[in-house]
Chains A and B, each alone.
Chain A
C-alpha cells in the first residue's frame, strides 16, 4: 500500500515535470536542423583535409573558420593557418570545397597553392560565381 501511494505521487510529479518543462512542440525544419548539426563535424573534417596537405612551416589553425553547405552534399569552408598557435607569425588563408559523404575534394587552396579549380568546383555545387 505505501509503495502504491508513493508511486502514484511519483507519477504525478513526473507528468507535471515533463509536461511543464518540455520545450514547445513546434518541430523545426528537419533539413535545417540536420544541416545545423552537420556543421560541426564537417568543419572538423575540412580542417583535417587541409591539414593533410599543409606545407611547412604551417602547423596550427588560427580562426576564424566559416562556411557551410553550398550545393547538394557539397560544403565550402575557409579559414587561415599560421606558423604557431598564436598566429603572430605568417598566416595564410585556406579554402576547401568538398563532399563529406565521399571525402572527395573538389578544390583546396592554402595561400597561393591551389589544387583543383575553384570556379569549376563552385559550378559543380551549383553556386553562381557572381554571388560569391
Chain B
C-alpha cells in the first residue's frame, strides 16, 4: 500500500467539486435552453422529477396514514412504523416537510463540516463547501423534490457511519436504528459491528427494530391481522406494477430498470418479439428471478468483503453504500444519495490504493444529472411522458464499474490467511455483547 501524499484528500475534493459543479451547471443550462429557447416543458426542461406530483411521495403517504388501515391504499409499501411517523407528520404537510428538510439538511451539513477538516482549513470555507456539496448533489435535490422519506434516513445513516468510524458503536447503532425502522435495508450497515464482534448490539438493534415495526401495526384503528394481510397484498401489487411492469421506469438507478428499458428499446426496434411485462410474462418473470439471485449474490459478496476481507473498515462501508444505491429493483434516483455519501467516504479515505481515482470519477459521474438525452424508444412511462433519460442506462453501469474496480484493486490488501481461516474463526472467536 502506498503512503498517501499530504494533499491526497484535498486533490480528490477538488476533482469532486469541479465535476459536480460542471455537471450541475450543464444540466441547468440545458434546462434553461430547453425551456426558454426551445419552449419545451417536461421532461426536456426539468433537471428533477415529474413536476405534476411534486412532494407526492410525502403527501400521498400522510393521506394514507390517516386511514384506519393505511394499507387500504394499495400504494402503501412502507412498514407500519413508517406510517406511525407519517400520521404524526400528517397534521400539516407544509410545516412537516419544512421541518423534515431543515432537520435533514442541517444535520448533514453539520456532519460534512466535521469531516471536511482535511479539505479546508477555515470555518467559513468549510461550512461553504458543506452546503455547496448538498446543493450540487442531484440525488438529494431529486429526493427533496419527490418528498421521499429517505431524506430523513440519510442523516441518520451518515451519522451512524461517522460514529462507527470513530468506534463509538453505541451512538452509531442508535443513529442507525430509526433508519432501519423506516426502511429495512440500512441494516446492512451494521457490518462494522460484526467486524468488532459486537453481536449483542446487532441483536438489540434487530429486536428493537422488529418490536417497533410490529407495534406500529397496533397504532391504527383496523385489526392487526387486517393490516398485515393488506400489507402483503400491497407488496404483491408493488411487485406486479413496479418490479415486473414499467412503474418508476423513468427514475431508478437499478440495473434491473436499465434491463427493462433495454427490452422496451429492442422491442421498439423490432429486434425482439413484444415483451409481456405482466405477472404472467414468462420472460420478465424468469429475468426477475435471475436478477434477484444475482443481486443476492452481490449483496453476500459485499457483506463478506466488508466484514471479513477488507482491512480498512471504511472501504467496506463504501462498498455497502454503493450497493444500496443500485440494489433495489425500483424506486427513484434518490437512492443515489447513498452513492453521494459513498463519494464523501471515498474522498476522505486517507490511504491511496490503485483504482481509487477511477472509482471516484465513476461515482461522481453517477451522481450528476444526465437528462440531456432522452431515450424516446423506451416509450411513455407511468407519468404519461417519454421521460426515460440516458442516465437510467448509465448510472448502474458507473456504480457497478466503480464497485468492480474497488473490489479488484483491493485484492492485494486481502488477507488470504484470514479467508481460509474465516469459518474456523467464526466458530471459535470470542464474541462481545456490546
Contacts and interface: CB of A to CB of B under 8 A. Distances in A.
B123 A6 contact: no
Contact of B59 (A19, A23, A30): A23
Interface in B279-318: 279-280
Contact of B102 (A10, A19, A33, A38): A10
A44 B237 contact: yes
B73 A11 contact: no
A22 B75 contact: no
Contacts of B109: 3, 6-7, 10
Nearest to B132: A6
A2 B274 contact: no
B372 interface: no
Contact of A14 (B72, B101, B274, B276): B101
Contacts, number: 89
Category for how many chain B residues contact A: 35 or more
B163 interface: no
Contacts of B279: 44, 47-48
A44 B241 contact: yes
A2 B128 contact: yes
Contact of B131 (A6, A19, A23): A6
A17 B98 CA distance: 9
Contact of B127 (A3, A14, A23, A51): A3
Contact of A6 (B101, B102, B127, B280): B127
Contacts of B94: 18-19, 22
A61 interface: yes
A11 to B, nearest CB: 6
A48 B236 CA distance: 11
Contacts of A9: 131
A86 B67 contact: no
A40 interface: yes
B101 A37 contact: no
Contacts of A60: 276, 280
Contacts of A51: 280
A15 B95 CA distance: 9
B101 A38 contact: no
A34 B101 CA distance: 27
A106 to B, nearest CB: 19
Contacts of B72: 34, 38
Interface in B92-108: 93-94, 97-98, 101-102, 105-106
A3 B63 contact: no
A23 B145 CA distance: 12
A18 B98 CA distance: 7
B237 A40 contact: yes
B278 A47 contact: yes
Interface string A16-35: 01110111000000100110
Nearest to B53: A23
Interface string B43-87: 000000000001100010001001100001111000000000000
A19 B102 CA distance: 14
Contact of A85 (B67, B144, B276): B276
Contacts of A41: 74, 233-234, 237, 241
B110 interface: yes
A3 B55 contact: no
Contacts of B102: 10-11, 14
A51 to B, nearest CB: 6
Contacts of A23: 54-55, 59
A7 B59 CA distance: 25
Interface in B380-400: none
A99 to B, nearest CB: 13
B237 A6 contact: no
B326 interface: no
Interface centre among A3, A19, A45 (most CB of B within 10 A): A3
Contacts of B18: none
A122 to B, nearest CB: 24
Given A34-B67, A45-B233, 6 more contacts: A2-B123, A3-B113, A3-B123, A9-B131, A10-B105, A41-B241
Give the 8 A-B CB pairs with smallest separation, nearest first: A41-B74, A41-B237, A2-B127, A2-B124, A14-B101, A85-B276, A37-B73, A18-B97
